Amino acid sequence: MTNATTQLSEDTCLHAAERLDRDALEALQLERLQWTVRHAYENVSLYREKFDAVGVHPDDIKTLADVQKLPFTTKEDLRLSYPFGMFAVPREDVRRIHASSGTTGRPTVVGYTQGDLDNWADLIARSLYASGVRPGWRVHNAYGYGLFTGGLGAHAGIERLGCTVIPMSGGQTEKQVQLITDFEPDAILCTPSYLLTIADAFEAAGLDPRATSLKVAVCGAEPWTDAMRHELEERLSIKAVDIYGLSEVMGPGVGNECVETQDGPHIWEDHFLPEIIDEDLQQVPDGEQGELVFTTLTKEAFPVIRYRTRDLTTLLPGTARPSMRRIAKITGRNDDMIILRGVNLFPTQIEELALEQSELSTHFVLELTRNGKMDALTVKIEPREGVAETDAAAAVKALQQRIKTRIGCSVGVELVPAESLERSQGKLKRLYDLR
Ligand code: DLL
């Protein structure tokens, strides 16, 4: 199949696919789905075995709904095929490899052909344009370079859009402050938690984070709330826009929010077919919450069929790009859900409530411990700078009460000294399970 690496059109910078009507988009999706399923079946033994086991053949895919006949793919399948067992092209056609860190066990390894890299750059360019970034801008890229898809993935798309990339990578926070001050970038790309770390570092250096040249931040790679968006926009005087993606499906740029609506990432549906499934692994209608599943539609080196992301969200109708559906801001992953004495809760719910308390900072961690047979959760949180101790103590009590009434469970909330918690350098670790 030929790759559709069409350039952004000059008049509006919108890709032709962003202007297709829904019927034309679905026709394109079906054609690409049929190609992908055949490509995976013919070139990846794991897919052939899984399809044969449930008696489904590429010829059975006659409509988009037929995707439901196909078996799911999990991270475990990728681990078992470590390192290259799920690559669908000859090794000499693989131009690049990335890998996810994998907190436990082996990392998962993904590969890209030249065509895949071209599509990826196009999709990042499309994502940045949707974020409000414009050709000619200087873009400070503070996503980590290396095996992580964030840095190099974003890098190629920044260039593709016609911007100047500053390939800073993550970490070295004082240097980030210096380069943002000296190079005067228009946009920054990094995780939302790392942008907070950078804002703190500006203040620590006696500089006003609102006075930088930055206009837009394109933030993703971890769950974050609208409360956090508001915090970042206020503190840095910018627009903060949500970029979504995962290495198994491509990397950053699977979907992106539009700056004019800021209402959740549009999925770039000409390249990825999304579904939401319930706990019984059945597809649910748009608007219902569940686990997000993706089938890639154009990937050559590493096609994925019904990949279970573990991310929990809802599919919503398109707005700023009417034919492409959106996902609601991701509340969390079903593997970072805390079940506390029967109540399900996500770190993002605590984030939302903590940020309502102006005496408390955005820096907090969650510690899970076990008291005999009972699990206990403690929120350790720093006060905001300059807040009197008595006010901070009252805010802690108020937060505890709020968590009880709004989430429905009793947790401990403990004030810890300012600057005592570890700062994010990329993806933030919020939850410490000490059980
Ligand atoms: O984090 C790719 C990426 C890089 C996305 C830079 C955006 C920006 P992984 O390391 O494979 O890839 O982690 C993917 O991170 O399944 C989600 O749980 C989470 N995630 C990514 N973007 C968002 C987001 C990259 N915008 C996993 N909101 C995903 C919430 C996100 N969670």
Q: What is the pLDDT of residue 371?
A: 85
Within 13 Å, how many C-alpha atoms sit on residue 196's CB side? 21
- Reported for 44-48, long-range contacts at CB under 8 A and 24+ positions apart, including other chains, are 44/85, 44/86, 44/87, 44/88, 44/303, 45/85, 46/77, 46/80, 46/81, 46/85, 46/86, 47/86, 47/305
CB 299 within 8 A of CB 312: no
Residue ranges in the chain whose pLDDT is less than 70: 1-12, 102-104
Report how far ligand 1's centroid is from the alpha carbon of 62 (Å): 32
Q: What is the pLDDT of residue 6?
A: 45
Nearest to 421 by CA among 223, 228, 197: 197
Residue identifier of the C-alpha nearest atom 22 of ligand 1:
221
Report how far ligand 1's centroid is from the alpha carbon of 10 (Å): 30
Q: Which of 100, 311, 327, 346 to mutate to test the pocket of ligand 1 (most atoms within 8 A of CB)?
A: 311
Q: What is the pLDDT of residue 5?
A: 42
Question: How far is the C-alpha of 247 from the C-alpha of 78, rounded, in Å?
Answer: 12
Residues linked to residue 294 through DSSP beta bridges, in sequence order: 274, 307
CA distance to 18, 294, 319, 387, per residue, from 266 (Å): 10, 14, 8, 39
Residue identifier of the C-alpha nearest atom 1 of ligand 1:
221
Q: What is the DSSP string of 155-204?
A: HHHHHHHT-EEE---S--HHHHHHHHHHH--SEEEE-HHHHHHHHHHHHH
Q: Which residues contact 276 (CB under 8 A, 6 or more apart)?
A: 283, 284, 286, 288, 289, 290, 291, 292, 293, 313, 314, 315
Residue identifier of the C-alpha nearest atom 27 of ligand 1:
246
Q: What is the pLDDT of residue 100?
A: 87
Q: What is the pLDDT of residue 102?
A: 63
Q: What are the residue ranges of helices labelled H in 313-426?
A: 347-354, 389-406
Cis before 83? omega within 30: yes
Question: How far is the C-alpha of 146 from the C-alpha of 143, rounded, in Å?
Answer: 10
CB 412 within 8 A of CB 379: yes
Q: Which residues contact 370 (CB under 8 A, 6 or more apart)?
A: 376, 435
Q: Which of 152, 246, 307, 348 to mutate to test the pocket of ligand 1 (most atoms within 8 A of CB)?
A: 246
Residue identifier of the C-alpha nearest atom 28 of ligand 1:
223
Q: Which residues contact 76 (CB under 8 A, 6 or more apart)?
A: none
Q: Which of 155, 330, 336 to mutate to test the pocket of ligand 1 (most atoms within 8 A of CB)?
A: 330
Residues whose beta carbon lies within 6 Å of some atom of ligand 1: 100, 143, 149-150, 220-223, 242-247, 251-252, 309, 311, 330, 333
As given in the structure block, the two tokens for residue 72 are: 């799911």
Report pTM.
Answer: 0.95
Question: How far is the C-alpha of 158 from the C-alpha of 172, rounded, in Å?
Answer: 22
Q: What is the pLDDT of residues 305-342, one digit of tens each?
A: 999 999 999 999 999 999 999 999 998 898 889 999 88
Q: Which residues contact 308 (CB under 8 A, 6 or more apart)?
A: 72, 73, 74, 75, 277, 291, 293
Question: How far is the C-alpha of 331 from the C-alpha of 76, rounded, in Å?
Answer: 23
Report how far ligand 1's centroid is from the alpha carbon of 221 (Å): 3
